[in-house]
Structure 1
Amino acid sequence: MTVRTAPYGTWESPIDAMTAASHDGRPEFVGIVGDELWWTAPRPAEDGRRTLMRRRVDGTEGSVLPAPWNVRSRVMEYGGLPWAGADRGPHGQGPLIVFVHFADQRLFCYEPDVVGSRPRPLTPASPVGGGLRWADPQVHPERGEVWCVLEEFTGERPTDVRRCVAAVPLDGSAAEDRGRIRELCDDTHRFVTGPRLSPDGRRAAWIAWDHPRMPWDGTEVRIAEVADGGFSGARTLLGGPDESVAQVEWAQDNTLLAATDRTGWWNIHRVDPATGQAVNLCARQEEFAGPVWRTGQRWFAPLDNGLIAVIHGRGAQRLGVLDATTGELADVPGRWSEWDAALAVSGTRVVGIAAGATTGYEIVELDTRTGCARAVAAQHIDVVDPGHLPAPVERTFTGPDGREIHAHLYPPHNPGFAAPDGELPPYVIWVHGGPTSRAPLVLDLEIAYFTSRGIGIAEVNYGGSTGYGRAYRNRLREQWGVVDVEDCAAVAEALVAEGTADPARLAIRGGSAGGWTAAAALTAGSTFACGAISFPVLDLTGWSAGGETHDFESQYLESLVGPIGKVPERYRDRSPVSHADRIRAPFLLLQGLDDVICPPAQCERFLAALAGRGIPHAYLTFEGEGHGFRRQETIVSCLEAELSLYGQAFGFIPPSVPTLELRV
């Protein structure tokens, strides 16, 4: 191959915006029904809906529900497990599937193998506020019910909402009658997860927490006796304000397994359901769970033989099998370096969703008898020449006060191009959302879109990120807008100091909480020459005290910034909207008009504060998009606009993309 010399940013790449957009998203919420695998899959070209997929025993797989069916929950706005299934045996009528339809959030029942069957509603619509919403269903055919998390709006405000554990009849009698839905527990707690029924059917356990805590701050394990009419004697078994329990499951011996961070790390404990006494099964300074942004996530799953399939690690999460008796942990070999919190088990089978640095997320099955793991569904296919993919490197940088900062470095790479001698590449700092989250090191065609054109990427897992223990997570307590901004700047400056990046061509990019950090960084100093900001928080006072966000995060800032009643000036001083006069760099602002988590009002207020200051910028809005973009055409527009911004800010002309019009 002839290698051409061209400036960074101008390299021609086979990875265009359409390629990246059409492969956006990943399989989620895999489960086993009988011997079959089921999961949800993205459809960017179909208005960003998620379909329900099925892999039959013979290996064939396909979509079960045509457009416009959209299998996605809105509980806590970020959703959760949106479907469940029950196997009715070889002499039944095939699987019974229950799912949430995004458009109206009703729960539907579907019998795909029954001729002429169509999804039929199980729950009613509600005209009040956000209506009735459902997540984390557990089908109990023997009881004629599906147990779920019920989120019910009682008024028009986002915080006019209650949640509880509820039972919905499978016969459809509640489809038009709210009174037929049985509430299994009261609504004492603001938030709950779906209940897990013990093997002997005598007890149920679930997780609950209350404002102002977030689930990674402190939760409670609730346990109750199961009677004909519901739950009785509900009590707190484990947890508290300073202990986060992320997941509970029952072992075959009717003891409870819980992932709790009481040691400073989410480790799996065996819990006596009578006394709450907990024993750590594998004490390690590693995480065996993660933040509960969505109900129904599953980092571990007990097998019938007493072993436990676990996802664990420090930073990267890998799959292992834990012997609960000896504490021995054996990792599963394979090309996958990152596993999603979506384990399912049946007999000796473990099924999960995993990816690697050069492979996208695919469904992987482990046979615990042989230790053999293989991709069995939604398998990765190279849609571009792997030679155009970056070779990422895990890095640990030193930040202010000598603190560690974890990051992933994606250097520019294209086998057909080289930069002129002496030229340093531009680099973009990518800031993940959350902020209580983490950027995984996996194949991402959006990253390759830029690196294959000669633009380096550094994903920063700044202080406050998950995967590195509670102490690392707590660095951001009352320091949002400080620690995250400092850490991102420190990584950028370290890349310059070591001769990796061009000091004049640094950018920052983020969405949601990452958009906040990106905007705050642009107001904080001169490190970055430009920024790309998507669906951000920009005004802390309006977002929280002003009621501009949803219930789940409405008091998140109590821990991230501090109690607003005590430190109102901190909310003003840290908000980018208060310091629009400090911005000197051009920026791109991207916003979904249907976003209820970070609504357009945040962007509009920021732009009003910036008006007349002569800063080049562009503001692109998208009808029908919420928090995070899902539609193919939206993603294409955003990627091309972002590349054009970098070209204008860094002094190159990117080939084959429209020029973004920057206004002043």
Structure 2
Amino acid sequence: MTESSKGQDRDAEDVGVRDIEVKDLPVWEQRFRAPRVSLPEWAEEAPDRSLFVSNATGTYELYAWDRATGEQRQVTDRPNGTTDGTLSPDGRWVWWFADTDGDEFGVWMRQPFDVADGAAGGADEPAVPGLAASYPAGLAIGRKGTVVVGRSTDEEGSTVHLLRAGGAEPVEIYRHRESAGVGDLSYDESLVAIEHTEHGDAMHSAIRVLRAADASVLAELDDTKGGTEELGLSVLGFAPVAGDTRLLVGHQRRGRWEPMLWDPATGAETDLRLDLPGDVEAEWYPDGSGLLIVHSFEARSELWRYEIATGALVRVDTPAGSVSSATARPDGSVEFLWSSAAEPPVVRSTNGSVVLDPPGPKAPPSVPVEDVWVQGPGGRVHALVQRPAKGEGPFPTVFEVHGGPTWHDSDAFASGPAAWVDHGYAVVRVNYRGSTGYGREWTDALKHRVGLIELEDITAVREWAVASGLADPEKLVLAGGSWGGYLTLLGLGTQPDAWAVGLAAVPVADYVTAYEDEMEALKALDRTLLGGSPEEVPERFAASSPLTYVDAVKAPVHISAGVNDPRCPIRQIDNYVDRLAARGAVHEVYRYDAGHGSLVVEERIKQVALDLDFAARHLGTRGTRPTEG
């Protein structure tokens, strides 16, 4: 990833030296160090200009790629990394979000795609002068230069600002206390689509389309009204061709996410009725003739093309596993980022090529996942299981709990679980109630008894794991990050005899204090999940807070936390740790100078090594000593 072909040659020589060094490292560490790339985004009016994320330097940063010349250059270079960025439609500018050490609070900057285009020689400049720092809430850049920026702050709530090409100051076109954000800007830049939750349910958005000329309301699409259930909507994008005002919308009217077409100018709705189980997302093909469908079902995903004129649905050939992102190119080909639990990620094209292959050693493969279905109190629970390559079990077993909570584990490559398998552990990942990909009822089941519901499903799978002979009941590890870290601490306190070790990364530990300190959008989510604020429903916050049960914790617990984390702030973690320390409970805490996780490869490796070592010391298993520094 260099400025010139000469630089690439030097890098290739350096990679050869690093390759020898990497091969001497443990396999689990090689997976983290192997260069990765994201699916490249391409400029709509200049499709040879692309932007992608890579960890080639040891930190995840943005890279510009000119496909016509093959030249690649690093755009951002910050100590804690950068992943939030996009291209202007004409391909002249790279936009990126500048926060401070992972706190997610900052401003949009921009830099010329080609340093020769910029008078300042590629220097960064404020992209929207006049807007103060905030949490980001969506961004849309028009072909003629109009920019729409969504912002969120504790003081203002949600705001949307519009800056016209050549304009001096951005103009506020929307404001509300509840969470909202930018959906898209129409092809001719006359319409702005906004997702909002003015009704107070942060899990189910409505859509409002404003006229850019005067911020007046053209149309509203709201599935949260008039029924016994609140249904969500999402903006998937305006039609990418002139004269077409249709908006591609995601809806939940039939119990799952699927797309439809809505014309805010006429009110006409076109129900696509795709005969596919599971959740369905979509984006436009560049000429507007079809939709690229991403179909997710039972922890796998696949691609389809939907022909708008005929209604034909044609499968796009992809291997079994997970497509984490995909895009249709102007020539009709589809590029996609694919992986499976056993095979590392690769950016492929339906034309048969590997689109972007980073230099350096490749990530070693891991073992495949097995599907397990267990009857739980709320229905059948899907879990993904990985077993060590050697041995019959029972194994020491890590229950790796996903975050979100509106997310799901899938048959996709993950270096963390693979590291545990390398060390002789079985790994179980549970798509508990609240997870996506299993229908709206499963996701929306997570209300009021927050945390306790998910743990019921994890318990059902844990009982199966022990009864089946997979898991050693004396060596069960509960682990996770973010919401998974929260469930870890809650599980250690409410099920103290079930777990031998707990590993919690960036967790919610003290729900009330977390609510007080977290970003405004997450406060809205917590009010939705728990049915009100801590003042309105104190009993629910208490019942769902790990701090309530901290004195019952028996298992040794390791906690890692980012000191700049706006999602699971450090003060509430300190409150929990102080309670552990007060009664002499076995625990260790690792604090690092970043936010909700780290984009630095060495830091990620250190945290995994700390967890492996902590578990080994307390279970008597094979561990890995972390590297100091």
TM-score of Structure 1 vs Structure 2, range by shorter chain:
0.7 to 0.9
Judging changes above 3 Å, is the alpha-carbon distance between structure 1 residues 659 and 635 closer, same or farther for their aligned structure 2 residues? closer
SS in 2 for 1:489: helix
Post-superposition Cα deviations, 1:317-374, rounded to whole Å, max 9, x if no partner, equal 22211123443322222326222355354252333333233333333334xxxxx454
Alpha-carbon contact 1:83-1:100 (below 8 Å) kept: no
Report the Cα distance in structure 1 between the residues aligned to 2:474 and 2:507, rounded to whole angstroms: 25
Aligned match of 1:286: 278
Q: How far apart are 1:27 and its partner, in Å?
A: 1.4
Aligned match of 1:407: 383
Aligned match of 2:335: 351
**Is 1:218 the equivalent of 2:204?**
yes
Aligned match of 1:67: 77
- Among 451, 470, 474, the residue aligned to 1:504: 474
Report the Cα distance in structure 2 between the residues aligned to 1:643 and 1:160, rounded to whole angstroms: 43
- How many equivalent pairs are there? 587
**Is 1:31 the equivalent of 2:19?**
no
Percent pairwise identity: 21
Matches within 5 A, 1:604-643: 604-623=574-593, 625-643=594-612
- Among 347, 354, 367, the residue aligned to 1:375: 354
Q: How far apart are 1:522 and its partner, in Å?
A: 0.7
Aligned match of 1:310: 293
Alpha-carbon contact 1:310-1:320 (below 8 Å) kept: yes
Question: What amino acid does structure 1 have at the position aligned with 2:171?
Answer: R
- Among 523, 526, 546, the residue aligned to 1:557: 526
Q: How far apart are 1:423 and its partner, in Å?
A: 5.0
Matches within 5 A, 1:5-404: 15-16=26-27, 18-23=29-34, 27=38, 30-33=41-44, 34-43=46-55, 46=58, 48-58=59-69, 60=70, 62-65=72-75, 67-68=77-78, 72=82, 82-87=85-90, 95-103=92-100, 104-112=106-114, 114=116, 117-123=121-127, 130-131=133-134, 135-140=138-143, 142=144, 145-151=145-151, 153=153, 158-167=154-163, 169=165, 174=168, 180-183=169-172, 185-188=173-176, 190-194=178-182, 196-199=184-187, 202-210=190-198, 212-214=200-202, 217-227=203-213, 230-240=214-224, 242-251=230-239, 252=241, 253-284=244-275, 285-289=277-281, 299-304=282-287, 306-315=289-298, 316-335=300-319, 337-341=321-325, 343-366=327-350, 372-378=351-357, 383-386=362-365, 389-400=366-377, 403-404=379-380
Aligned match of 1:429: 399
Post-superposition Cα deviations, 1:35-71, rounded to whole Å, max 9, x if no partner, equal 325233143855x44222314135x352342523988
Question: What amino acid does structure 2 have at the position aligned with 1:312?
Answer: H
Judging changes above 3 Å, is the alpha-carbon distance between structure 1 residues 540 and 13 closer, same or farther for their aligned structure 2 residues? farther
- Among 534, 537, 540, the residue aligned to 2:505: 534
Judging changes above 3 Å, is the alpha-carbon distance between structure 1 residues 237 and 561 closer, same or farther for their aligned structure 2 residues? closer
Q: How far apart are 1:460 and its partner, in Å?
A: 1.0
Report the Cα distance in structure 2 between the residues aligned to 1:610 and 1:44, rounded to whole angstroms: 40
Report the Cα distance in structure 2 between the residues aligned to 1:127 and 1:96, rounded to whole angstroms: 19
SS in 2 for 1:317: strand
Alpha-carbon contact 1:126-1:132 (below 8 Å) kept: no
Report the Cα distance in structure 1 between the residues aligned to 2:317 and 2:570, rounded to whole angstroms: 46
Report the Cα distance in structure 2 between the residues aligned to 1:577 and 1:373, rounded to whole angstroms: 53
Relative contact order (C-alpha < 8 Å, sep 6+): which is higher?
A: 1
Judging changes above 3 Å, is the alpha-carbon distance between structure 1 residues 97 and 610 closer, same or farther for their aligned structure 2 residues? closer
Q: How far apart are 1:534 and its partner, in Å?
A: 0.6
Matches within 5 A, 1:568-607: 568-607=538-577
Alpha-carbon contact 2:131-2:170 (below 8 Å) kept: no
Alpha-carbon contact 2:50-2:87 (below 8 Å) kept: no
Report the Cα distance in structure 2 between the residues aligned to 1:199 and 1:576, rounded to whole angstroms: 48
Aligned match of 2:614: 645
Aligned match of 1:8: none
SS in 1 for 2:341: coil
Question: What amino acid does structure 2 have at the position aligned with 1:36?
Answer: D
SS in 1 for 2:462: helix
TM-score norm. by structure 1 comes to 0.80
Judging changes above 3 Å, is the alpha-carbon distance between structure 1 residues 340 and 150 closer, same or farther for their aligned structure 2 residues? same
Q: How far apart are 1:110 and its partner, in Å?
A: 1.1
Judging changes above 3 Å, is the alpha-carbon distance between structure 1 residues 35 and 271 closer, same or farther for their aligned structure 2 residues? closer
Judging changes above 3 Å, is the alpha-carbon distance between structure 1 residues 168 and 131 closer, same or farther for their aligned structure 2 residues? farther
Q: How far apart are 1:572 and its partner, in Å?
A: 1.4
Q: How far apart are 1:553 and its partner, in Å?
A: 0.5
Report the Cα distance in structure 1 between the residues aligned to 2:186 and 2:316, rounded to whole angstroms: 28
Alpha-carbon contact 1:27-1:378 (below 8 Å) kept: no
Report the Cα distance in structure 2 between the residues aligned to 1:592 and 1:69, rounded to whole angstroms: 14
Judging changes above 3 Å, is the alpha-carbon distance between structure 1 residues 15 and 447 closer, same or farther for their aligned structure 2 residues? farther
Judging changes above 3 Å, is the alpha-carbon distance between structure 1 residues 411 and 595 closer, same or farther for their aligned structure 2 residues? same
Question: What amino acid does structure 2 have at the position aligned with 1:322?
Answer: Y
Judging changes above 3 Å, is the alpha-carbon distance between structure 1 residues 356 and 423 closer, same or farther for their aligned structure 2 residues? closer
Q: How far apart are 1:638 and its partner, in Å?
A: 1.1
Alpha-carbon contact 1:644-1:659 (below 8 Å) kept: no
SS in 2 for 1:554: helix
Q: How far apart are 1:125 and its partner, in Å?
A: 6.7
Q: How far apart are 1:609 and its partner, in Å?
A: 1.6
Q: How far apart are 1:308 and its partner, in Å?
A: 0.8
How large is the Cα RMSD of the aligned pairs? 3.1
Report the Cα distance in structure 2 between the residues aligned to 1:255 and 1:396, rounded to whole angstroms: 41
Judging changes above 3 Å, is the alpha-carbon distance between structure 1 residues 524 and 29 closer, same or farther for their aligned structure 2 residues? farther
Aligned match of 2:428: 458
SS in 1 for 2:107: coil
Alpha-carbon contact 2:139-2:150 (below 8 Å) kept: no
Judging changes above 3 Å, is the alpha-carbon distance between structure 1 residues 133 and 204 closer, same or farther for their aligned structure 2 residues? closer
Alpha-carbon contact 1:108-1:120 (below 8 Å) kept: yes
SS in 2 for 1:521: helix
Question: What amino acid does structure 1 have at the position aligned with 2:224?
Answer: G
Report the Cα distance in structure 1 between the residues aligned to 2:545 and 2:273, rounded to whole angstroms: 42
Judging changes above 3 Å, is the alpha-carbon distance between structure 1 residues 13 and 357 closer, same or farther for their aligned structure 2 residues? farther
Report the Cα distance in structure 2 between the residues aligned to 1:555 and 1:450, rounded to whole angstroms: 36
Report the Cα distance in structure 2 between the residues aligned to 1:528 and 1:244, rounded to whole angstroms: 37
Report the Cα distance in structure 1 between the residues aligned to 2:326 and 2:49, rounded to whole angstroms: 13
Aligned match of 2:6: none
Report the Cα distance in structure 1 between the residues aligned to 2:598 and 2:57, rounded to whole angstroms: 12
Alpha-carbon contact 1:593-1:600 (below 8 Å) kept: yes
SS in 2 for 1:488: helix
Alpha-carbon contact 1:85-1:98 (below 8 Å) kept: yes
Alpha-carbon contact 1:44-1:631 (below 8 Å) kept: no
Report the Cα distance in structure 2 between the residues aligned to 1:378 and 1:210, rounded to whole angstroms: 44
Alpha-carbon contact 1:362-1:380 (below 8 Å) kept: no
Alpha-carbon contact 2:511-2:572 (below 8 Å) kept: no
Post-superposition Cα deviations, 1:152-177, rounded to whole Å, max 9, x if no partner, equal 64xxxx454432142254x6x75xxx
**Is 1:514 the equivalent of 2:472?**
no
Alpha-carbon contact 2:64-2:113 (below 8 Å) kept: no
